[in-house]
Amino acid sequence: MSAAQPTIAVPTPPQGYACPLAVLNWVREIAALAQPAEVRWLDGSYLEYATLLQLAQAQGVIQPLDQSRWPGSYYSRSHPSDVARIEERTVICTPTADEAGPTNHWADPAEMKTRLMGYIAGAFAGKTMYVVPYLMGPPGSRLAKVGIELTDSIYVAISMRVMTRMGRVALDQLGSSLEFNRGLHATLGCDLERRWIAHFPQENLILSTGSNYGGNVLLGKKCLALRIGSWLGHRQGWLAEHMLILKVESPTGEVNFVAAAFPSACGKTNFAMLIPPKAYQGWKVTTIGDDIAWMRIGADGRLYAINPENGYFGVAPGTSHASNPNAMATLARDTIFTNVGLSADGAVWWEGLDGPIPENLKDWKGNPWKPGSPEKCAHPNSRFASPMINNPALAAEVNDPNGVPISAIIFGGRRATTYPLVIQAFNWTHGVYLGATLGSETTAAAAGTLGQVRRDPMAMLPFCGYHMGDYLNHWLHIGRKLSHPPRIFHVNWFRKGTDGKFLWPGFGDNMRVLEWICARTHGHGLGEETPLGWMPAEGALRTDGLAPADIANLAKIQAIDKAEWDRELELQSELFQHLGDRMPKPLIYERELLKARLG
Ligand code: OXD
Ligand code: MN
């Protein structure tokens, strides 16, 4: 890269920071290239955060909400073209296209680096370059990873403080180690033409240009924790997964930690913060994480998980006191809202929020909005970024450096047909097959044909940083090393009846399925063997307090329709063909076994 000198003196980190020379050199190198007016190291302190919020306000990047109702919370609007992850511009830059595999967009690493570094040359002129050291995972954890993100965006700087353990804690963890992720983000006026999210796994490097949307620019989240993380996990023998982690405690004191993968927009945050229904007196569900799990094999042969994040970056529309009271309590303060509706008196609003609709609303684009307007007030992908410490149902183990022992892994998709409410895999390989063939129907909000099934192995399609076939093989390999593997399940909250209505009430009532899952991991909980796997035996799912219509639907929701399964097996073969000879043989065999069991 450039041997140029920065036009300004690059400060060393604030006093007291220990910082390997490699970090300092990376900062100097990029300062020399991007030529900012100022370089500012962030220490992660509250005082610093308060100063940054003031500065962001003065720059018009955020505006305060009514502090009497939304204490510590701010509003921001993104560029209207920059509202979501951009999969076609998200590239894996491995030396060969084969390493990235057929499910990723690949770009030549040298060409991509030259192109993006070209964009970044001089791009920070007149601006501040923030140096954001951040830690993914609890301090002191063997699984935690350090990243250094350099950015010209104050929005990124403040959001990283919410979403990660940011500042000094990261450099303390790094010590003299040279294993850190280098991340560079340049806003470039949110220029669509120059928008790229480029991952260089072999160099532990991420370059993000032309966007300011969270999933593209908060580099610790999807970029490091999943795409680079999955690649590191493959090399180092652990798993980086798109999974929530929750803790279930029964009235008798039985504890289970459960990890669950669902494709985006299938209610992961709601499930992670589930409140059991009234009939479940004495049961408690608490949250470890709502989006990402890093899991390693413990010395006792169990799988241990941490949540690498420190905050929630949740989808606002649909979040309400009815659907997710814990999320509402979490976002009630200290939150940065992006692209929701805003009222003249400083309140936020989105579709699905309960309570009166505020007067004098502006929509996410800043246009006046009234109920009944044809446009949505909040963008369907509008977000809240809230510190996880605000969650009233935060599990006590969330900062445990050892992680929590996972006893069940759940895969789930949005399927109007075919899949029953819950299946337990016969064994690990069968469970990996259930995860590998995970599919979800596209929703009205997404482009494409409504109801079309998108195959999304382990809910990792947009997030696996290497060849999907090798990734599935890695799962099989991990299973072989676990003497006490978690049990694996598949759930479907979204099956519909012939009238097009959901057959299952979902939300808090998902506790009934969770109870059965936990019981199965402890060897009780009656199951019935079916061609698909184990399903709850008659009476094994608790129904007290469930509406009579929902009870009546149970047989329909657990039904196995042969014609639907014939079609499903056909659809699955598309994925198998796509992965070609890298599709692990044991999974091909599982499909044959399923075919045979279905007759
Ligand atoms: C997310 C996603 O933002 O999965 O978590 O898209
Ligand atoms: Mn996600």
- Residue ending a domain, among 365, 390, 415, is 390
Could you tell me if residue 68 is inside a domain?
no
593 and 505 in a common domain: yes
Q: How far apart are CA 244 and CA 357, in angstroms?
A: 31
pLDDT in tens, 115-126: 999 999 999 999
184 and 253 in a common domain: no
Q: Per the structure block, which two tokens stand in for 127?
A: 């601006």
CB-neighbour burial class of residue 250 (10 A; exposed 0-12, middle 13-18, buried 19+): middle
Could you tell me if residue 342 is inside a domain?
yes
Could you tell me if residue 518 is inside a domain?
yes
**Antiparallel, parallel or unpaired: β 165-166 and 196-200:** unpaired
Q: Per the structure block, which two tokens stand in for 254?
A: 């039985």
Say if residue 389's pLDDT is above 80: yes
552 and 447 in a common domain: yes
Query: Tokens 């063909």 identify what position?
Result: 577
Distance 222 CA to ligand 1 centre (A): 8
Distance 583 CA to ligand 1 centre (A): 26
171 and 263 in a common domain: no
* Contact present, 219 and 185 (Cβ < 8 Å): yes
Measured from the Cβ of residue 173, the count of other Cβ atoms closer than 10 Å reads 22
Asked whether 437 lines ligand 1 (CB < 6 A), one says: no
What is the number of domains present in the chain? 3
For residue 330, the domain's CATH number is: 2.170.8.10
Q: Per the structure block, which two tokens stand in for 38?
A: 């100022």
What percent of the chain has pLDDT above 90? 92
Q: How far apart are CA 16 and CA 19, in angstroms?
A: 9
Q: How far apart are CA 20 and CA 591, in angstroms?
A: 50
| pLDDT range class, residue 443, cuts 50, 70, 90 | low
Could you tell me if residue 381 is inside a domain?
yes
305 and 232 in a common domain: no
Q: How far apart are CA 484 and CA 303, in angstroms?
A: 8
Say if residue 446's pLDDT is above 80: no
| pLDDT range class, residue 19, cuts 50, 70, 90 | confident
pLDDT in tens, 296-327: 999 999 999 999 999 999 999 999 999 999 99
- 242 CA: nearest ligand 1 atom: 4
Distances (CA, A) of 422 to 431, 458, 512, 540, 544: 13, 16, 11, 12, 18
Asked whether 264 lines ligand 1 (CB < 6 A), one says: yes
In 354-418, DSSP assigns E strands to 361-362, 368-369, 383-387, 404-412
338 and 276 in a common domain: no
| pLDDT range class, residue 142, cuts 50, 70, 90 | very high
**Which residues, 6 or more positions from 412, have their beta carbon under 8 angstroms from its beta carbon?**
260, 261, 262, 266, 438, 490, 491, 492, 493
Asked whether 291 lines ligand 1 (CB < 6 A), one says: yes
Residue nearest to atom 3 of ligand 1 (CA): 215
Say if residue 55's pLDDT is above 60: yes
- Residue ending a domain, among 186, 203, 236, is 236
Say if residue 538's pLDDT is above 80: yes
Sequential DSSP letters for 200-230:
EGGGTEEEEES---HHHH-TIIIIIIIIIHH
Q: How far apart are CA 74 and CA 57, in angstroms?
A: 9
Could you tell me if residue 6 is inside a domain?
no
* 438: enclosing H helix or E strand: none
477 and 572 in a common domain: yes
Could you tell me if residue 72 is inside a domain?
no
Distance 196 CA to ligand 2 centre (A): 19
Phi then psi for residue 65, to 5 deg, are -80, 175
Q: How many CA atoms lie within 13 A of 25 on its CB side?
A: 8
Residue 266 annotated to the active site? yes
- Residue ending a domain, among 236, 265, 298, is 236
Asked whether 215 lines ligand 1 (CB < 6 A), one says: yes
431 and 373 in a common domain: no
583 and 567 in a common domain: yes
pLDDT in tens, 244-285: 999 999 999 999 999 999 998 889 999 999 999 999 999 999
**Which residues, 6 or more positions from 300, have their beta carbon under 8 angstroms from its beta carbon?**
405, 483, 484
DSSP category for residue 394: B
Mean per-residue pLDDT, 50-75? 98
Q: How far apart are CA 363 and CA 341, in angstroms?
A: 5
Asked whether 269 lines ligand 1 (CB < 6 A), one says: no
Instruction: Indicate which residue of 223, 266, 464, 518 is catalytic.
Output: 266
Phi then psi for residue 57, to 5 deg, are -70, -45
282 and 189 in a common domain: no
For residue 111, the domain's CATH number is: 3.40.449.10
Say if residue 198's pLDDT is above 90: yes
Phi then psi for residue 214, to 5 deg, are -40, -60
Residue nearest to atom 1 of ligand 1 (CA): 264
Helix, strand or coil, per DSSP, at residue 499: coil
Q: How far apart are CA 103 and CA 230, in angstroms?
A: 14
Q: Per the structure block, which two tokens stand in for 428?
A: 């690990």
**Antiparallel, parallel or unpaired: β 361-362 and 205-209:** unpaired
Domain carrying residue 57 = 21-61+81-236
Could you tell me if residue 523 is inside a domain?
yes
Q: Per the structure block, which two tokens stand in for 422?
A: 């819950």
Mean per-residue pLDDT, 356-361? 96
Write down the mean pLDDT value for the chain: 95
- Residue 451: the pLDDT is 67
40 and 123 in a common domain: yes
Q: Per the structure block, which two tokens stand in for 490?
A: 């598949």
- 263 CA: nearest ligand 1 atom: 4
Helix, strand or coil, per DSSP, at residue 592: helix
pLDDT in tens, 408-427: 999 999 999 999 999 999 99
Asked whether 424 lines ligand 1 (CB < 6 A), one says: no
For residue 418, the domain's CATH number is: 3.90.228.20
564 and 525 in a common domain: yes
Which spans in 446-584 are helix H? 468-481, 510-521, 548-557, 562-579
- Residue 441: the pLDDT is 87
| pLDDT range class, residue 18, cuts 50, 70, 90 | confident
| pLDDT range class, residue 6, cuts 50, 70, 90 | low
Distances (CA, A) of 334 to 109, 166, 433, 571: 39, 16, 41, 45
> Which of 450, 440, 444 is closest to 418 using CA atoms?
440
Could you tell me if residue 9 is inside a domain?
no
To test the ligand 1 pocket, which listed residue (163, 226, 291) has its Cβ within 8 A of the most ligand atoms?
A: 291
